[in-house]
């Protein structure tokens, strides 16, 4: 998330927010911000706009923002100012007396759920691992298939954005696909027919996937800025067609594509193991999350949590949270089901297909119900029938 503010008189007034968010940017005018926003449409943005007169508010009247922006206007303690801001569509109007950094920080944190509500009920979840071999691809592939099997009324899409040759192609019976995720960047018009012609595959009635890269040289295509924008456009388009989009980005790397995908995701699942070396690597990644504004949507998943020599949940929590402003907990733990996992991995088979009652799959089903089905139901019920303040005002009028 980007925190952007436009202020002519107190450019340093939001320094406190830099302790919570790394991307805090100041602009001299609303026009400067608009130019910046035009190049950042796929990232969530909170705009803090300090105004001195009604004309300053009028300047945003005809701007057509996407639903990924949350606008806070700060100005005089004047009813005319607040009414105009509300009429234009500003999310929050604050008088100068109210506008302290603590209140603004709380509004920013709450804005993430509001932006999610605007985007709809579909869920974009990213899976990334602290290193190769921790089970990121195994977990995400089997989860996608399990969600589709357990909930035939839900459409599930699996995307492999890993930078290495895609293992998932083998498990989904597409060992030599004619089109891969790279070909999505060639789509001219975002429509389903063209997507099916450029990589989108239907595996069964409600499970779809796009094959990952076939050769290491394709990494260059994933790193081109123009292709990254196409991939983001694709995800934002396709989310309207699917209930769950599960994205495997492989090992975490500080590269633009992974960062941008995690920015637009609803959830980030970080896969680790309960070992001291794994905790040390994870700590580096957690430092990035702690400063990114992703804290509330990041979940740490421990795979093979009951292996010999593993650290405890409490030990892991202390290691991860030391020196950080947030406390990081292990959100979920999966068992070491080596017998079934090893056999299926060697044969390029999904565990959920071959051993649906295996301990790993039983726990993975619980994971899916907790983070996808249960959370989605809670969210939908929480917002069902609710109207905004300005919707109610319009109704009264």
Average pLDDT of span 58-66: 76
Average pLDDT of span 216-226: 85
The pLDDT assigned to 258 comes to 87
Show the domain range for 109: 2-118
% of the chain beyond a pLDDT of 90: 37
The radius of gyration computed from the CA coordinates of the chain, to the nearest angstrom, equals 23
d(CA 106, CA 339): 47
- Model pLDDT for residues 257-271, shown as the tens digit of each residue: 888 898 889 899 999
Give domain status of residue 391, yes or no.
Answer: no
More confident residue, 9 or 360: 360
Residues 6+ apart with CB under 8 A from 358: 337, 340, 351
Give domain status of residue 298, yes or no.
Answer: yes
Count of structural domains within the chain: 2
Decide: 247 and 208 in contact? Cβ < 8 Å.
no
Whether residue 70 is found in the same domain as residue 151: no
The pLDDT assigned to 388 comes to 41
Q: Rounded to the nearest 5°, which phi and psi values hold at 358? A: -65, 150
pLDDT bucket at 206, cuts 50 / 70 / 90: very high
Bridge partners (DSSP) of residue 158 are 209, 246
Whether residue 180 is found in the same domain as residue 306: yes
Report pTM.
0.74
Whether residue 72 is found in the same domain as residue 186: no
- Model pLDDT for residues 133-171, shown as the tens digit of each residue: 899 999 999 999 999 999 998 999 999 998 888 899 999
Whether residue 10 is found in the same domain as residue 153: no
Give domain status of residue 385, yes or no.
Answer: no
Most confident of 263-272, 316-325, 369-378: 263-272
- What is the DSSP pairing of strand 244-251 with strand 156-160? parallel
Among residues 63, 95, 118, which one ends one of the domains? 118
Crossing angle between the packed helical segments 225-238 and 256-264, to the nearest 10 degrees: 20
**Residue written as tokens 């991860």?**
320
The domain spanning residue 142 has which CATH number?
Answer: 3.40.50.300
Any idea of the CA torsion for 65, 70, 72, 73, to the nearest 10 degrees?
10
Residues 6+ apart with CB under 8 A from 322: none
CA distances from residue 156 to 203, 240, 320 in whole angstroms, order as listed: 10, 12, 32
- Model pLDDT for residues 5-17, shown as the tens digit of each residue: 888 776 666 777 7
């Amino acid at each position: 998330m980007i925190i952007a503010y436009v202020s002519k008189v107190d450019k340093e007034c939001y320094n406190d927010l830099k302790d919570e968010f790394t991307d805090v940017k100041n602009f001299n005018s609303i026009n400067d911000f608009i130019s910046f926003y035009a190049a950042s449409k796929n990232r969530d943005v909170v705009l803090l706009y300090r105004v001195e007169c009604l004309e300053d508010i009028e300047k945003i009247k005809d701007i057509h923002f996407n639903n990924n922006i949350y606008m806070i206007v700060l100005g005089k303690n004047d009813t005319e100012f607040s009414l105009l801001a509300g009429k234009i569509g500003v999310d929050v109007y604050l008088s100068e007396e109210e506008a302290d950094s603590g209140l603004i920080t709380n509004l920013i944190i709450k804005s993430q759920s509001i932006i999610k509500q605007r985007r709809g009920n579909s869920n974009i979840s990213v899976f990334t691992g602290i290193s190769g071999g921790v089970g990121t691809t195994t977990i995400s592939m089997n989860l996608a298939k399990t969600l589709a099997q357990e909930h035939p009324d839900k459409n599930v899409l699996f995307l492999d954005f890993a930078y290495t040759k895609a293992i998932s192609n083998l498990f989904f019976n597409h060992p030599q696909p004619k089109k891969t995720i790279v070909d999505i960047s060639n789509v001219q018009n975002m429509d389903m027919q063209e997507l099916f012609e450029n990589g989108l595959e239907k595996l069964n009635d409600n499970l779809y996937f796009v094959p990952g890269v076939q050769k290491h040289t394709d990494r260059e295509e994933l790193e081109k800025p123009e292709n990254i924008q196409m991939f983001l456009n694709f995800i934002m388009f396709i989310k309207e067609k699917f209930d769950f989009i599960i994205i495997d980005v492989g090992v975490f790397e500080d590269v633009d594509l992974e960062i941008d995908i995690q920015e637009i995701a609803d959830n980030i699942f970080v896969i680790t193991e309960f070992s001291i070396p794994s905790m040390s690597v994870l700590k580096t990644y957690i430092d990035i999350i702690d400063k990114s504004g992703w804290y509330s949507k990041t979940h740490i998943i421990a795979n093979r949590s009951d292996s010999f020599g593993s650290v405890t949940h409490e030990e892991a929590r202390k290691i991860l949270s030391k020196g950080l402003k947030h406390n990081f907990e292990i959100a979920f733990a999966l068992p070491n089901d080596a017998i079934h996992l090893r056999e299926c991995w060697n044969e390029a088979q999904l565990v959920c297909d071959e051993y649906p009652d295996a301990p790993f799959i039983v726990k993975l089903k619980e994971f899916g119900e907790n983070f996808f089905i249960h959370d989605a139901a809670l969210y939908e019920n929480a917002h069902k029938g609710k109207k905004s303040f300005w919707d109610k005002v319009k109704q009264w009028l």
